[in-house]
Amino acid sequence: MMLVRRWRQHLWEKIGCRNILEVGVGTGQNIPHYSEDLKVTAVDSNPNALKIASERAERHDVDVRLIYGDISEVDFEQNHYDAAVSTFVLCQLSNPHTALQNILGALKPGAALYMLEQTTSTDPAARILTSLCRPLYWATGSKIPQDLTDQVSSAGFAIVEKYPVFARGAVVVVSAQKPFE
Ligand SMILES: C[S@@+](CC[C@H](N)C(=O)[O-])C[C@H]1O[C@@H](n2cnc3c(N)ncnc32)[C@H](O)[C@@H]1O
C-alpha cells in the first residue's frame, strides 16, 4: 500500500495546473494527494464508491465536485480542463476508446492526461504472475491493456512519456497531450 501511495504522490506532483478532471475516482484514494490549489471535477460510475469519496473529500477539505456517470457518456464542458488524471481505470473500461475521446474533448488544447495504470510487464516472472491472476481480472471485469499507449494515441492524444514504476511495466506512468489544433 505504501508503494501505491508513493506512485500516486509521484503522479500528482507532476501536475502543475489548477482545473483538473479525475476520471474513475473510485473511493477517492487520490484525494489525499490533491494539493490545496487544485479544483477537481471527479467522475465515477459507482455510487457507493462516490459516497466514500465524498466522505474522504470532507475529511481532507479539498475542492472537488463529484459526478456520478460513465466517462464515455458524461457531457463534459469542452476544451475546459487543464489536465486529466486516471489511476487504475483503463483496465476496467468497457469502451476505452470512447472514454478516452470524451476525455480528450474535455481538455484544453495542449493539456495533458496523466495516467498510472496496469499494463503487461516485459519481465517474464511478472508476466507469469499476471497470467495466474487473469481469472481474478475476468471475474472483476478488468482487462490488463497490452497496448496502453496505442489505445491512448488512437483516441487522438500525443504520447509525451511512458515509464515503468513497478515490475518492468506491470504498472506504468503515461503522460499524453491533447494536440493544439
Ligand atoms: C480500480 S478502480 C480505481 C479507482 C481509483 N482511480 C483509484 O486509483 O483507486 C476503477 C474505478 O473506475 C470506475 N469505472 C469503471 N468504468 C467506468 C466508467 N465507464 N465510467 C466511470 N467510472 C468507471 C469504477 O467504478 C472504479 O471506481
Ligand 1 contact via 98 beta carbon (within 6 Å): no
Contact 113, 103 (CB under 8 A): yes
pTM metric for this prediction: 0.92
Residue 166: the pLDDT is: 80
Higher-confidence position of 180 and 166: 180
Percent of the chain past pLDDT 90, that is, above it, reads 75
44 CA distance to ligand 1 centroid (A)?
Answer: 6
Contact 21, 107 (CB under 8 A): yes
Please name the fold of domain 2-177: Rossmann fold (3.40.50)
What pLDDT, in 10s, does the model give residues 141-174? 667 666 899 999 999 999 999 999 886 668 899 9
Ligand 1 contact via 45 beta carbon (within 6 Å): yes
Confidence of residue 44 (pLDDT cuts 50, 70, 90): very high
Residue 103: the pLDDT is: 98
Domain regions of the chain by residue span: 2-177
Query: Grid coordinates standing for 135?
Result: 481469472
> Rounded distance, CA 58 to CA 63, Å?
9
Ligand 1 contact via 29 beta carbon (within 6 Å): yes
Q: Which residue has the cell 508513493?
A: 6
